[in-house]
Amino acid sequence: MCGIVGYVGEKQCTDILVGALQKLEYRGYDSAGIAVFSNDRIKTIKAKGKIAEGLIERLKSEGPYAATTGIGHTRWATHGEPSDINSHPIGNGRVCIVHNGIIENYRKVKEFLTDKGYGFESETDTETVAKLLDYNYSGNPLDTIIKTIADIEGAYALGIIFREHKEHIYAVRKESPLIVGKGEGEMFIASDVTAIIEHTKEYYLLEQGEIADITKDGVKFYDVHKNPIEKEIQVADWDVSAAEKGGYAHFMLKEITEQPTALKNTIHPRIKDGMPDFTECCLTDDKLRKYHHIYIVGCGSAMHAGIVGKYVIESLARTPVIVDIASEFKYRSPLLTPDDLVVIISQSGETADTKAALKLANDIGADTLAIVNVVGSSIAREAKMVMYTLAGPEISVCSTKAYMVQAAFMYLLAFRVAYARSRIDEATCKQLVAEMLEIPAKVQSCVDNQEQYQKVASRLISADSLLYIGRGLDYALSMEGSLKLKEISYIHSESYAAGELKHGTISLIDEGMPVIAVATQGNLLDKTLSNVKEVKSRGATVVLVCKEDMDISGCGVDYPVYLPVARDLLMPLVAVVPLQLIAYYTAVLKNCDVDHPRNLAKSVTVE
């Protein structure tokens, strides 16, 4: 969600700030704005809507501003509807801020400030922080910030400028991510390195409660007691081209086509002598033998990757696995013990609900393993063990390659757990790994065969609602296929275990309703085809995703989608590709904003 940027240097910063905000559009937003120093005062320009249609047009109409210091923001509404006045930056003539997160005690703070004579124009929680900074202002920004954050509760990342300190930007964070970028004679703040990667690869990570005082010549870090802090610089391991479309119509399509490479980058470094190797995170066979249960926790696509993991781990290792939606985990009082392993899955490493689940697991004393894509993210730093998925930046809000590599990790973990617990021998484990190494080529084959997916999509665009069905691993996969379609095409879709159709859901089937059946598991093929016949006899239009060597004759499928053959256990890694591309082409044919679906954010940093 919301994005923060800031610049202080010698260059004219308006275009730099707007360009950085555009790099953060993938996070999801409904308004955007910047605040810059112009003629010794703070000038704020902001507008509801897309950057190109709102903020940039407003900048054109108001004329250019000669400024070398400023902050910017893309807002995803939490308090107050999307509007110009609720947009960030927010402040008055003396102080101006941008804010990610939620201030939980803003009502109390607002009441206090109202009693002190302050008026409020917006509906936001952010305005209470801006006004509190103004109330506490003593002439010393650092003292003012320390005093202010002592009185606010919740999650926040703040970029702050003071009129009397026009060559400084201040930054502070709690829970929400924020970095400080280091250039030559210029410095940046950003909620994501993607925003500043074209200017610098070097950055510092702000930790909880740390405050940064930033000028063009460098940055000083302090804790909440005003003690100086020394920090190590981080270096991004990818360049700006990875965050550009590279000739593709959408980031989503680019990222789907990158999946074979992402798989190789993730799998190959974790194979040693033909066996899965987790020594980089100190996850030993002794540990894997001792765990009583394995919990897998995530949100959305990450949780779906965990469901695939559950099926595979329980099938191979005969070890109980509990998959939890992160937002429910801590509220259901899980029966977690120090003898359990909790696997935390998050693309961004900043997902608020997932971070809360991690904290609970750490507090209980369970071992925690983070599977994340962003190096140095909060979840990566706070988990006891971490494995990076090495997928590269994923810009489209709709996750594709991140899901793919998360699922791949689940397979490697399953193989190693099964071997450690003597459920499979070394030869079997090596055979599974060898077949896993063949999956990227099979994924590439699916990516190259896009014409059949476009044909299916052309049939779906007029649907009001549809169903995905499958059994076993195919049901797990159907959940992800359904999510992809509803996220970007806005067509209502649900996934069901095919055997549950007769328990109510089949009543929804009427003439022409699309049903996408996934049938890649040989031992369940006949049962799934029986379900296909059931929905077909009630007028459904059926798309069947299956292996190319399966006999589906006589079941009345309207649109068969054939996949390269792999071991049944590994088929979710292959079969997800057509589901992604069907969703993609459906959204394209409906003229939807594929990379920026309405109401969604890439990184959900509030509960």
Catalytically annotated residues: 2, 602
Half-sphere exposure of residue 94: CA atoms within 13 angstroms, side-chain side: 13
Find the DSSP H helices in 116-225: 126-136, 141-149
Q: Is the link from the previous residue into 89 a cis peptide, with omega within 30 of 0?
A: yes
The torsion defined by the Cα of 495, 500, 501 and 502, in degrees rounded to 10, comes to -170
Give the residue among 152, 237, 150 at the shortest CA–CA distance from 202: 237
Which among 195, 193, 220, 222 has a CA at the least distance from the CA of 209?
222
Tokens of 142: 């650092």
Q: Are residues 354 and 324 in contact, defined by beta-carbon separation less than 8 angstroms?
A: no
Contact (CB, 8 A) for 32 and 41 = no
Separation between Cα atoms, residue 384 and residue 524, nearest integer Å: 39
Distance of CA 604 to the CA centre of its chain: 7
Rounded-to-integer distance, Cα 434 and Cα 274, Å: 7
User: Is there a contact between 219 and 213 (Cβ–Cβ < 8 Å)?
Assistant: yes
The owner of tokens 């009082």 is 333
Does residue 248 contact residue 257 with C-beta atoms inside 8 Å? yes
- The pair of three-digit structure tokens given for residue 352, joined into one six-digit string: 């608020």
Check if the beta carbon of residue 577 is closer than 8 Å to that of residue 443.
yes
CA distance 80 to 67: 30
